[in-house]
Amino acid sequence: MQRLRAAAQALGAAPEAGAPRREVWRDRRCALYRYTPVRAALLRTPLLICYALVNRPTMLDLQPGHSLIRNLLEAGVDVYLLDWGYPRSGDRFEQLDDYVNGWLRECVGQVSQGAGREAADPRPRDVPVNLLGVCQGGALSLCYASLHPAQVRNLITMVTPVDFQTPNDLLSRWAQDVDLDLLTSLGNVPGTLLNAVYLSLMPFRLTQQKYLSLARLLEDEQALAHFLRMERWILDSPDQAACAFGQFVKWFYQENRLQRGTLSLGDRPVDLRAIRCPVFNVYGLKDHLVPPDASRALRGLTTSVDYQELAVDAGHIGLYVSRAAQTEVAPAITRWLAARDG
């Protein structure tokens, strides 16, 4: 127990293990970061990552050796990240439209203009960007690419639900009869509450067995630090802006509007058929949060003639942090983008 305490304290005092980056734009709590390139850009088109609202993007860059972002940087991709920050109680009336047509749109514009790049950088500016959406951020990216197709050169979706009512989707089952108007009238939805719901999807493994494995890690400093970083990420779920959260659960989970083509944002219909750019859909075969079928549903919903899928033998998180994913996922994304960078 003392070792655990010491390791947790050391982690708290340790500098962040993320790759170096610089804030290039901010609007209140939302920030756009550009990661410091580690080699000359291989691709002309920059990549903007749009993460989910319900967790922190730390997972994409947990530590060296377990980092999608570092792997992309090392492959010569110019990486930007949209960080949604932590909503406060005054943000409770923010809507999904604010996220997609507000912040995401601003960030696409900034990336397109080459925010944070050196003046001497010869790559063109004011060009469409590559957009990579993760989980819920993938759903938001699909909305964006539908509403603003000319601004997205290539679209990558990772562990992204599209059909929110597949038979194996336990979260969806639980969400169907929740009174969302009532819930969101109470203010922002606490991240701790959402955490409890995620853990209860597999309670025995996630609240019992996992912690016993910790006993075996106590002798291994690196493994213990990795475990603690994961735990910190798990416990760090931001509170959710009430209105946007209610819209997401109602429109996506309860009414399955994205898949059915009945979603509108800011009075504009979100029609996935408007997506004509190349699409790369990456999902985990062992994903218990977003079952493979929920992601695979994207096939045939866009009008892209260049649609590809990558099924990874991993879970929702393993797809980013597992050792196998390090050699499979980022290289596949880089190859796919490189072939479409002309």
Contact between 36 and another protein by CB under 8 A: the answer reads no
Give the nearest distance from C-beta 72 to another protein in angstroms: 16
Q: Rank residues 42 and 202 by Cβ distance to another protein and give the closer one.
A: 202
Please spell the DSSP secondary structure of 52-72, one letter per residue. Answer: -SSS-GGGGEEETTEEHHHHH
Could you say which of 135, 143, 243, 277 is catalytic? 135
> What is the Cα–Cα distance from 97 to 104, expressed in whole angstroms?
10
The residue within the footprint of another protein, chosen from 39, 173, 286, 323 (CB under 8 A), is: 173
Question: Which residues from 233-252 bind another protein, rule CB under 8 A?
Answer: 235-236
Alpha helices, DSSP H only, in the chain? 2-13, 68-74, 96-97, 105-112, 136-147, 170-175, 180-184, 191-199, 203-204, 210-217, 221-234, 242-247, 257-260, 292-296, 318-321, 323-338
Contact between 219 and another protein by CB under 8 A: the answer reads no
Question: Which residues from 63-122 bind another protein, rule CB under 8 A?
Answer: 86, 90, 92-95, 98, 102, 106
How many degrees, rounded to 5, is the angle at CA 21 between CA 16 and CA 23? 110
- Active-site annotation holds for 135: yes
Give 169's Cβ-side CA count (13 Å radius): 23
The tokens of 290 are what?
Answer: 């977003």
Contact between 177 and another protein by CB under 8 A: the answer reads yes
β-bridge partners, 129: 152
The window from 142-150, 202-210, 254-262, 270-278 that contacts another protein (CB under 8 A) reads: 202-210
Residues in contact with another protein by the rule CB under 8 A: 1, 4-5, 8-9, 11-13, 16, 18, 21-23, 33, 56, 58, 61, 86, 90, 92-95, 98, 102, 106, 170, 173-174, 176-179, 182-183, 185-186, 190, 192-193, 196-197, 199-200, 202-212, 214-215, 228, 231-232, 235-236
